[in-house]
Amino acid sequence: MAQHPLAIAPLLLLAALVYATGLLAARRRGRSWPSGRAACWYAGLAAATAALAGPDSSFVAHMGGHLLLGMVGPLLLVLGAPGTLALRALPVRQARRLSRFLATRPVRFLVHPVTAAVLDGGGLWVLYATPLFAVVMHSPLIQLHVLVAGVLLAYAVVGPDPMAHRPSPVVRSVALLAFLAAHGILARYLYAHPPAGVPVADAENGAELMYYGGDVADLALVVIFCWQWYDPARFRVGGRRPPQPWRLGSPSSGRRVTHGG
């Protein structure tokens, strides 16, 4: 039981250092890197750290931490585009090896939106709706699972890194929808079925926070997902914008022409 709440903090510190090394290496290689991306990465790490270090005395506080660790943090980390940074920072040969590794079947399976949605949504149901909760509530392994599953889902749905054989937007939106529904249904379920050892009033407040807080995080995810469809160039790291690409290839749908003018 007496596990330290900050047991996975060293991993976060390591992630901060590795990213910084990548930034320096990319700069040495003469490759630029948008500061907004770096800001996202460090904000994500800060959110995850806050979740680990924050109060965990009540179910409400626990749920606040869960939202930061499992949804807000992962989304920010993914927007930090660590894969693209690695490709820019590594020497060509190693960068090629990395892309080949990312295109292997096991990796593709792991970052498939359906896998990610099942790991994330299913994991939450197992954690909160079974007696497991009382046993492992503060376990570092569970915290790590929540963080990693959140990252996988955000990466699968809106990851800006180049991805081999990325599933179509339809597959991604269906998986995302399934996860959103599973999250919302779990929140309502917990309202009436508090996890073992949680007082009713605390569980009700925690469940409402999970529901509405989850909605805010999900909304961000959905907006970014749709925005990527609308304007892909904006989300490509350092991508050049072709002038109005949606007008290319269909001249007849060009600019609006007023009649009889």
Partner 1 sequence: MTAAPQAGEHTGRTIASGVFLGLGVVAFVDETVFHQLLHWHHFYDRSTPAAGLVSDGLFHAFGFFCAVGALFLLADVRRRGVFDARRWSGGLLAGAGAFQLYDGTVQHKLLRLHQIRYHVDLVPYDWTWNVIAVVLLVTGAVLLWRSTR
Whether 46 contacts 106, CB under 8 Å: no
Instruction: Give the largest Cα separation in the chain, rounded.
Output: 80
Q: Which is nearer to partner 1, 28 or 259 (CB)?
A: 259
Binding positions for partner 1, 122-181, rule CB under 8 A: 173, 176-177, 180-181
Binding positions for partner 1, 236-255, rule CB under 8 A: 244, 246-247, 250, 252-255
Whether 26 contacts 85, CB under 8 Å: yes
Whether 120 contacts 61, CB under 8 Å: no
Cβ 74 to partner 1 shortest distance, Å:
18
Q: What angle do CA 256, 259, 261 make, to 5 degrees?
A: 105
Q: Examine residue 114 and tell whether it contacts partner 1 (CB under 8 A).
A: no
Q: Which is nearer to partner 1, 57 or 258 (CB)?
A: 258
d(CA 260, CA 66): 60
Backbone angles phi, psi at 155, to 5 degrees: -65, -45
Binding to partner 1 by CB under 8 A, coded x per residue (else -) over 188-227, reads: xx-xx--------------xx--x---x--xx--xx--xx
Q: In the complex, which residues of this chain contact partner 1 (CB under 8 A)? A: 173, 176-177, 180-182, 184-185, 188-189, 191-192, 207-208, 211, 215, 218-219, 222-223, 226-227, 229-230, 244, 246-247, 250, 252-261
